[in-house]
């Protein structure tokens, strides 16, 4: 109703992925985040650390034309150092968190608790000589409202392959892939098991992400 009536309402969700482990599929929002994103007038923020969470909270307070959903994790996530320009760019919904030396050949697009995973995989690929960019996209709705030149700066229309990573339904991410890559998502319900076992089973490990990245850039080393 808040979305329909364009009423300011802040909704806070605290169980963001299969990383909950033994809480099981009833507490693992495989499809819920995608459902919220599909709702007109709803802004969905899924921050990756305390910095993005603070920006998301401010955005929710300033959004007086509709509701905001904050999707928070109960997992331990690393703090990611940023420049002042990057902190300013968080409010644009999507921004370059780690860039390559030269034009990227691969772009990770990640959100929430999977951003740290993308950062670790990207750094290892960079150490191997690959040109990899990481884009954190805490709020797709806000990113979609940015000017075209900003969007093309973050996600350039080049030959760079793209790999989106989110522990939830993959459907909404294909529009950002634009036929240039793949999505690591979950299109079935979760299970009850230790978090580390579930993340490995569903492909949310550094090794699995790097393997998917190498397939995209035709590198089997």
Tell whether the model's pLDDT for residue 114 goes beyond 90: yes
Total residues found in the chain within this entry: 221
Tens digit of pLDDT for each residue in 142-159? 999 999 999 999 999 999
Per-position DSSP letters for 60-82, written without gaps between them = HHH--SSEEEEE--SS-------
Average pLDDT over residues 147-173: 96
Average pLDDT over residues 28-54: 94
CATH number of 2-216: 3.40.50.920
Segments in the chain forming alpha helices (H)? 2-5, 32-37, 50-62, 84-90, 115-127, 140-144, 148-154, 174-177, 195-201, 206-216
Contacts of 128 (CB under 8 A, 6+ apart): 221
Average pLDDT over residues 109-115: 96
Residue reference for tokens 């034309």: 65
Cα 35 to chain centroid, rounded: 16
User: Containing H/E element for 13?
Assistant: strand 9-13
Domain ranges across the chain: 2-216
Confidence of residue 219 (pLDDT cuts 50, 70, 90): low
Average pLDDT over residues 50-77: 95
Tens digit of pLDDT for each residue in 128-138? 999 999 999 99
Tell whether the model's pLDDT for residue 12 goes beyond 80: yes
Range in 21-30, 42-51, 210-219 the model is least confident about: 21-30
Supply the pTM of this predicted model.
0.94
Instruction: Find the distance separating the first CA and the last CA of the chain, reported in whole Å.
Output: 52
Burial class (CB in 10 A: 0-12, 13-18, 19+), 217: middle
Other CB atoms within 10 A of residue 175 CB: 10
User: Which of residues 221 and 3 earns the better pLDDT score?
Assistant: 3
């Amino acid at each position: 109703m808040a979305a329909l009536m364009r009423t300011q309402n802040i909704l806070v969700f605290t169980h963001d992925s299969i990383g909950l482990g033994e809480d099981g599929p009833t507490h693992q929002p495989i499809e819920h985040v995608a459902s919220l994103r599909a709702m007109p007038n709803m802004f969905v923020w899924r921050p990756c650390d305390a910095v993005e969470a603070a920006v998301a909270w401010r955005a929710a307070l300033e959004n007086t034309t509709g509701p905001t959903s904050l999707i928070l994790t109960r997992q331990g996530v690393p703090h990611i150092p940023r420049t002042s320009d990057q902190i300013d760019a968080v409010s644009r919904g999507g921004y370059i968190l780690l860039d390559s030396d030269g034009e990227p050949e691969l772009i990770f697009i990640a959100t929430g608790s999977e951003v740290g995973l993308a950062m670790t995989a990207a750094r290892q690929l960079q150490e191997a000589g690959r040109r990899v960019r990481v884009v954190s996209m805490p709020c797709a709705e806000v990113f979609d409202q940015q000017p075209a030149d900003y969007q093309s700066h973050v996600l350039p229309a080049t030959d760079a392959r793209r790999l989106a990573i989110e522990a939830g339904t993959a459907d909404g991410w294909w529009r950002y892939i634009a036929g240039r890559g793949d999505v690591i998502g979950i299109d079935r319900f979760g299970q009850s098991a230790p978090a580390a076992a579930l993340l490995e089973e569903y492909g949310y490990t550094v090794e699995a992400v790097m393997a998917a990245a190498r397939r995209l850039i035709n590198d089997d080393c």
